[in-house]
Amino acid sequence: MATQNRAARLLLRLVGRFITPARFIAGMAVVCFLIAWNRDIALLYGLSSLLLALLLVSWILPIWVLRNIRIHRRQTGVARAGASLQVSYRFISESPLYFLAVAETIPGAERQEHFIPRTDLSEPVTLSYEAPRRGVFVLGHCEVTSSWPFGFIRQKRRVPVNPVTITVVPRVYRIARLPQPHAEHAVAEGADSFLSRGMHSEFAGVRPYRTGDSLKHIHWGASARRQEMVVREYHSFDRPSWLMVVDAGTGSSIGDNEDSTLEYALQIAASVMEYARSHNIRLQVYVNNATTMRLTVEPGTHDIIEHLKALAAVQEDGRQSYQSAIVSALAEQGDVPVLMTVRRDSQEISPGQAGGHLDIVYNDASFTQPMGRYAEGWRQVNPGHFILDLHRLSSLSQVLAS
């Protein structure tokens, strides 16, 4: 019985692949015509004519619907790698549109199609697509088909549509906690000695009041002048600034596409920026690509979406070595920051004059032999130096959240 059921399902699958509704109706029209010709039955002539008319209408009307259609599209919201991408479509036509299908090919994903039973010309239609890859892409032609009114025959037409730039930002993972390295000399050489005698912060400026701010930090004079509540901000010397250097040098990454050390480094950088924002830490991300990108998160920053969009455009085109980029980034800092690096274990670096070092190291061998046993997790080298061992199959969402 089970064998018969499998054979029946296979037969139905084969029949369904080659016998479409349009072919079935055309076959029925031919059969009715031949029977009517042989038996001289007028009713079958009429039925054959009706079926042919049905096919003719199903073939012509979709072309009529698509003849003057135009589409304007744009990205809405923020698209994150591995999540959904929202594209808004505004259809411009002289008549209502029915039974449309819109298909797009997103880089890194297969062709994706959406069926729209009815289109309201006065309101845009927002469709969701899978966005597996980080990057900045241009969507050119999209495929539009119509099967109105009966759904038997689909007609496709290249309709005028505007190219649209799509930005897919890196994935952001929740970081539960980062090690706090302690350098041997917390205050940089030559710093004001007054700050080292128990004074742990200095006045930096004012900013608008936010819910949860302490009333003792309100600057009443500035609030009166601006006619809005403002609070004092301070530079903290107990919580030093952080510097993260991302290696985007030409040929420095290993792995393919989204499974490469550059992509992992950008995901970690995005996650660290969100961590800095939520913990009011000053962070600068230095990317040694062709233009040497510098992204700074200041304490009190509300969101980092513009920084994430900048990371989306990073290409592996830098001309500096990773060690040179670290030296250049440290030289630009006004104080001694905590340094974060993401590198391969075959890359030798020297952190130089940093106020601590968080070193994230990927095992090279894991990219060619991913099923091997490799170390994973944080380990402390000395009070100012922590290493996070990772490999090709490490789950950043689990490692960073632990």
Per-residue model confidence as pLDDT tens for the chain (402 residues): 667 667 667 766 666 566 777 777 778 778 887 887 887 787 887 888 888 888 888 888 898 888 888 999 999 999 999 999 999 999 998 888 889 999 998 888 889 999 999 888 888 999 999 988 999 999 988 889 998 888 888 888 888 899 999 999 999 999 998 998 864 444 333 333 233 333 345 555 677 876 556 676 788 888 888 888 887 765 554 567 899 999 999 999 999 888 999 999 999 999 999 999 998 899 999 999 999 999 999 988 889 999 999 999 999 999 999 999 999 999 998 788 999 999 999 999 988 777 899 999 999 999 999 999 999 999 999 888 999 999 999 999 999 998
149 cis-preceded (ω within 30 degrees of 0): yes
- Contact between 305 and 277 under an 8 Å Cβ cutoff? The reply is no
Which residues, at least 6 apart from 103, have a Cβ–Cβ distance to it below 8 Å? 111, 112, 113, 114, 142, 143, 144, 145
Give one word for 400, left, alpha or beta, with left for phi > 0 and alpha for psi -120 to 50: alpha
SS3 139: strand
What is the pTM for the complete model shown?
Answer: 0.78
What is the pairing mode between strands 357-362 and 338-344?
A: parallel
Q: Which CATH superfamily is domain 68-169 in?
A: Immunoglobulins (2.60.40.10)
Do 68-169 and 242-401 share a fold?
A: no
SS3 71: strand
Strand partners, 233: 205
Domains of the chain, by residue range, sit at 19-65, 68-169, 203-235, 242-401
Burial of 172 (0-12, 13-18, 19+ CB in 10 A): buried
Which residues, at least 6 apart from 246, have a Cβ–Cβ distance to it below 8 Å? 262, 265, 266, 269, 285, 286, 287, 288, 314, 342
Dist. CA 158–CA 30, nearest whole Å: 33
- Contact between 336 and 353 under an 8 Å Cβ cutoff? The reply is yes
- Contact between 311 and 270 under an 8 Å Cβ cutoff? The reply is yes
Q: Which CATH superfamily is domain 242-401 in?
A: von Willebrand factor, type A domain (3.40.50.410)
